[in-house]
Amino acid sequence: MTQRDAAEPWTIGKILEWATNDFRARGLPNPRLDAEVLLAFAIGDSRVKLIVDRDRPLLSTELATFRELVKRRRTSEPVAYLTGTREFYGRTFRVDARVLVPRPDTEILLDVALARTAHVSLSMRALDLCTGSGCVAVTLALERPTGTVHATDVSSGAIAVARENALRLGAYRVSFGLGDLFEGTDPAARFDVIVSNPPYIATAELAELAPDVREHEPRAALDGGPNGLDLLRRIVEGAPRFLRDKGALAVEVGAGQASAVAGFFVTRGFADVRRAKDYGGIERVVSGRLE
């Protein structure tokens, strides 16, 4: 903002155009959308109001809040961290730098898990490994309100975020355990379905991720080892011990990993192994049923 600009009132329309151009010049993706979301957050209203009230001058407090958000977005900090929320499966989840930002493609994992448990919809017992923000565990519990879900994560910060989301969204039949994969679970527990969106990015590929992800999202929730398959292999290997008869396992995988992971399923004795594509046509979820 120049000194000349400061002499004139900053209306919603004017500052929205300025921020959009600023983000675009810096090479940030979705500059207009980001500007709209951040401005709506700064004024505490909807994006629709940005259009309706485009000629309204901003209050000094609104302007100060928005300028701070713009500064942070310039460093590629994810918009979800700036607003503290992200939509997932039609619900609003709280997120911060302790957890990955939920992605639309992970909704496919929910679709698969729900389909695999249709026959036990009233009594489903589910286990969510690497729960992160809790978006998968909480959604499962809300979509299957008479079932129960247990969620684990190795990060105490992630468990805190997930627990907050469960309480805020009314998912009272979700329990949480701190530990590495199955370590956060009662050894005697058995489940109808185990789901997981684990770290699956190959270590060498982390440097190639977009700045939003590479510089701000938790590395431990991204790094899947040398070929990205370390945790996926461990999950498939350990799942049968915690599954009921005919229980199902569904995991999210990275692009190009579905074939290898499907092989893990077959080797471990799973049947009816399937692959489900995400919205971009990439095989994103591998699932199977224990025989």
Q: pLDDT value at position 291? A: 84
Quick check: do 3-74 and 89-290 share a fold? no
Q: Who contacts 176 (Cβ-Cβ below 8 Å, separation ≥6)?
A: 131, 150, 151, 152, 153, 159, 162, 163, 166, 184
If DSSP codes are grouped into helix, strand and coil, which group holds residue 243?
A: strand
Q: pLDDT value at position 6? A: 52
**pTM of the predicted protein model:** 0.92
CATH classification of 89-290 is 3.40.50.150, yes or no?
yes
If DSSP codes are grouped into helix, strand and coil, which group holds residue 47?
A: helix
Cβ-based burial of 46 (10 A; exposed 0-12, middle 13-18, buried ≥19): exposed
Q: pLDDT value at position 7? A: 65
- For the chain, the domains span 3-74, 89-290
CA distances from 140 to 109, 143, 209 (A): 10, 5, 29
If DSSP codes are grouped into helix, strand and coil, which group holds residue 224?
A: coil
Cβ-based burial of 124 (10 A; exposed 0-12, middle 13-18, buried ≥19): buried
Q: pLDDT value at position 180? A: 97
Second-level CATH architecture of 3-74: Orthogonal Bundle (1.10)
Please identify every stretch of the chain with a pLDDT value under 50, giving residue numbers as ranges: 3-4
